[in-house]
Amino acid sequence: MSSVQTETSSVSKAKLTKQDHLNAYNKLRQRMKNQLKLAAKGEGSALSLSNIEELKRLYNALEKEKVRDTKIHLEDSEVFKEASDFAALNARNLRFGEGGIALDERDVLKRLRKYAATDSSILSDIVKEDQDGGDAYGEGNEDEDEELITDEYTFNKVNWLKLGVLYHQISKKPISVDFLNGPLANEKKRATNRTRNIDDTRGGRSTTARHVEASDVAQDEEKNTAYMVRLVYDKYLKKESKEEINFFKFFINPHSFAQSVENLFYTSFLIKDGRLKLYTGKSGVPCISRVSQKELEQIKLDSSNILSSHHIATFNYDVWQYFIQELDIKEAFLGHREGIEDQVPAEDFFEDFGDEELELNDHSNETDTTNSSTTTTPSFDE
């Protein structure tokens, strides 16, 4: 008899191995996975309680044996999280009134009044109800309930905003908005009498389109962006010096803001194509100079050592006037191109001044076609 008791005590005192603990948690985890279908139907309340009890038993075994293995405790945390998810899934799918589970409607309303109460009298009434084991307003006092509901003072004792926030947090119903006015369905358009457009061109002035010759079209094709870029580069080569040129003095035309913007635009193409380079000079201001033949050969051999950057230039009328005064620019480095400047159309003046005729300078609106026809197209080739 004593030998049997000794064997029993030795078996009970034997500690479980690390693998035994892990197997027990894995077994519980597998069992919960097999029970997920019941939890999805809301029929796993008893199983959820059983899983939690089993999890408590496994953790007590760890505490009793003073197991400090982090891997086992990590497994315990993961299984505990899965048990919580199992219980939450079952709770979301519970159907009240089935399986002996139900909520008392008056008890729910009483707790809501306690949650949203702003007056101590409501809280005292609820405490009195709990002590009496019933409802102070009673099921037979329906008339009194209606009077209390219609009483404005009692209505204001409840924090309805707090109750609305609670409903917004836990309810799945969409919140209604006030700006969805008008019908949601398409309405049939009613037939309306269309008003005819009145021809107002009969009393206006008639103009004749200018006759364009084939030579004029060919001449205009020369004055494109590529042509102007080569023209600017050709003017720079004629005035090139060994000294660095101030970038603002290079492109600003003190006699024309529009041509200054054009020069800046054309200069950007020359810098992009590697004909000119823009850098900070010795005086700390932006300067421009020609890319030497040696630098071009170096770029062709190895372009990894070449530092390049991208900049967006902002240039307006005030900046243009400021640099003209600050740098005392008297003449344009790239010269002034004679031609038609951008002007306000005459029709706009007629709209502003009514029928008053404005005299326009015909000489400023005519282009000198003889000069443009004799201009030779410059080339980048040296």
pLDDT digits (tens, 9 = 90+) for 104-125: 777 888 888 888 888 777 777 7
Flag whether 288 is in a domain.
yes
**Per-residue model confidence (pLDDT) at position 82:** 92
Residue 51 shares a structural domain with residue 74: yes
Residue 73 shares a structural domain with residue 114: no
Nearest-angstrom CA–CA distance, 239 and 74: 80
Residue 86 shares a structural domain with residue 36: yes
Flag whether 134 is in a domain.
no
Residue 235 shares a structural domain with residue 307: yes
Instruction: Identify whether the C-beta of residue 85 lies closer than 8 Å to the C-beta of residue 35.
Output: no
Nearest-angstrom CA–CA distance, 8 and 6: 5
Flag whether 204 is in a domain.
no
User: CB within 8 A of 123, min separation 6: which ones?
Assistant: 114, 117
User: CB within 8 A of 102, min separation 6: which ones?
Assistant: 96
Residue 120 shares a structural domain with residue 60: no
**Per-residue model confidence (pLDDT) at position 77:** 92
**Per-residue model confidence (pLDDT) at position 26:** 92
Residue 59 shares a structural domain with residue 32: yes
Residue 84 shares a structural domain with residue 107: no
Residue 27 shares a structural domain with residue 122: no
Domain that residue 252 falls in: 221-337
Flag whether 280 is in a domain.
yes
Nearest-angstrom CA–CA distance, 275 and 269: 9
Residue 120 shares a structural domain with residue 77: no
**Per-residue model confidence (pLDDT) at position 358:** 38
User: CB within 8 A of 115, min separation 6: which ones?
Assistant: 162, 163, 166
Flag whether 206 is in a domain.
no
Flag whether 142 is in a domain.
no
Residue 257 shares a structural domain with residue 161: no
- The DSSP code for 185 is S
**Per-residue model confidence (pLDDT) at position 340:** 56
**Per-residue model confidence (pLDDT) at position 78:** 92
Residue 55 shares a structural domain with residue 117: no
Flag whether 38 is in a domain.
yes
**Per-residue model confidence (pLDDT) at position 27:** 92
Residue 40 shares a structural domain with residue 108: no
**Per-residue model confidence (pLDDT) at position 144:** 47
Report the number of distinct structural domains present in the chain.
Answer: 3
Q: Which residues in the chain land under pLDDT 50? A: 1-11, 135-148, 221-222, 344, 349-382
**Per-residue model confidence (pLDDT) at position 346:** 54
Flag whether 183 is in a domain.
no
